[in-house]
Amino acid sequence: MSTLTARAALFSCIEGGSQFWSDEVNVFGAEAVLDKLLNRGYEPSAHSSAKIAERLLRHSGDEVLEEISKANSYFLTPEDSDWPVQLNDLKATPIGLIIKGERSLLTEIEISLSIVGTRNPTPYGSRIASEFAAGAADRSFTVISGGAYGIDAAAHRGALAAEGTTVAVLAGGISRNYPAGHEALFAEIAETGLLISEVMPQVPALPARFLIRNRIIAALSRGTIVVEAAYRSGSLRTAREAAEILRPVMAVPGPINSPTSEGSHKLITERCAELVSSISDVMELVMPLPNR
């Protein structure tokens, strides 16, 4: 069995975001971990190894790769030359990723910004997200977000309107189009940008998977901008994931009495994020200093 098929088999059976399994694969290799699982070499209760082993008996790596191919997608692994190396900064690096769209973009994705926020934005928040995305695109930055309603959608559309490229990191499978109302948006993104997923094509977007995928949004980009986030928001998780791997975190202020800006203000007051009010502010934080 090749490393590719071993990774594909493990990818289909292990939920993303597990530091234990990520470390096992990185240290011992996918083939060795697969063999140990199939031969019940792990304690049954350790990190769901028994359940994973049962799933592996039903999913061969070749079958997994065939399913991904039928979804008009690619299976990307750390062994590929175009693997985004910035993902290696994560504690739980992905075993692999499924991508759909313009694969050549992977070589440019390091020059990117993440824009995230609430699913229920005010008109102000939607406008700011769109304007920041367009400004980033005008400066040849790829815009990364999560494909959800609200701020995510405004960011994707802002980049597209500026004829830039954008990447949606999905919580569900490539073929599930969640949310369903974004089917046309996802198709447009895939034409010039990328859809990325850490689960198989038909896997649903469960609540926990939104939090798991946030680390990928944070790691792919040079910095994360939070535009309108409630006091308890998944966007704050993305911001903290970015801070953990030393990526700049930025937040856009809103009205002091706006519930949709409470999370953004919290990040600013706790010194977890830099206050930004323009794309020029953002560029000062994410652009490398010139050599002197």
Residues of the chain with pLDDT > 90: what percent?
Answer: 90
Whole-structure pTM value: 0.94
The strand ranges marked E within 165-211 are: 166-170, 194-197
**Run of H or E including 242:** helix 234-244
- For residue 88, the one-letter residue type is N
Greatest distance between any 2 Cα atoms in the chain: 59
In the predicted model, is pLDDT for residue 289 greater than 60?
Answer: no
Q: Is the peptide bond before 78 cis (omega within 30 degrees of 0)?
A: no
Residue 170 vs residues 37, 40, 152: alpha-carbon distances, Å: 28, 32, 11
Q: Which of 51, 21, 261 is nearest to 151 (CA)?
A: 261
- Residue by residue, DSSP assigns 76-87 as E-TTSTTS-GGG
Over residues 30-50, the mean pLDDT reads 93
Q: Which of 65, 46, 56, 53 is nearest to 8 (CA)?
A: 65
Q: Which pLDDT score is estimated for 230?
A: 87
**SS3 track for 92-156:** CCCCCEEEEECHHHHHCCCCEEEEEECCCCCHHHHHHHHHHHHHHHHCCCEEEECCCCCHHHHHH
Q: Which pLDDT score is estimated for 291?
A: 44
Q: Which pLDDT score is estimated for 161?
A: 97
Q: Is 26 helix (H, G, I), strand (E, B) or coil?
A: helix
In the predicted model, is pLDDT for residue 246 greater than 80?
Answer: yes
Residues 162 and 133: beta-carbon distance below 8 Å:
yes
- CATH 3.40.50.450-classified regions of the chain: 104-286
Bridge pairing between strands 224-227 and 194-197? unpaired
Q: Which of 100, 76, 65, 109 is nearest to 174 (CA)?
A: 100
* pLDDT digits 0-9 by tens, 194-220: 999 999 999 999 999 999 999 999 999
CATH of the domain spanning 104-286, picked from 3.40.50.720, 3.40.50.450, 3.30.470.20, 2.60.120.10: 3.40.50.450
Enumerate residues 6+ apart whose C-beta is below 8 A from 101. Answer: 189, 190, 191, 192, 193, 194, 195
Residues 157 and 149: beta-carbon distance below 8 Å:
no
In the predicted model, is pLDDT for residue 290 greater than 60?
Answer: no
Bridge pairing between strands 97-101 and 194-197? antiparallel
Q: Which pLDDT score is estimated for 232?
A: 81
Q: Quote the CA–CA distance of 13 and 174 in Å, as a whole number.
A: 17
Q: Which pLDDT score is estimated for 45?
A: 83
* pLDDT digits 0-9 by tens, 11-25: 999 999 999 999 999
Q: Which residue has the higher pLDDT, 32 or 289?
A: 32
Torsion sign (Cα): 106, 107, 110, 111: negative
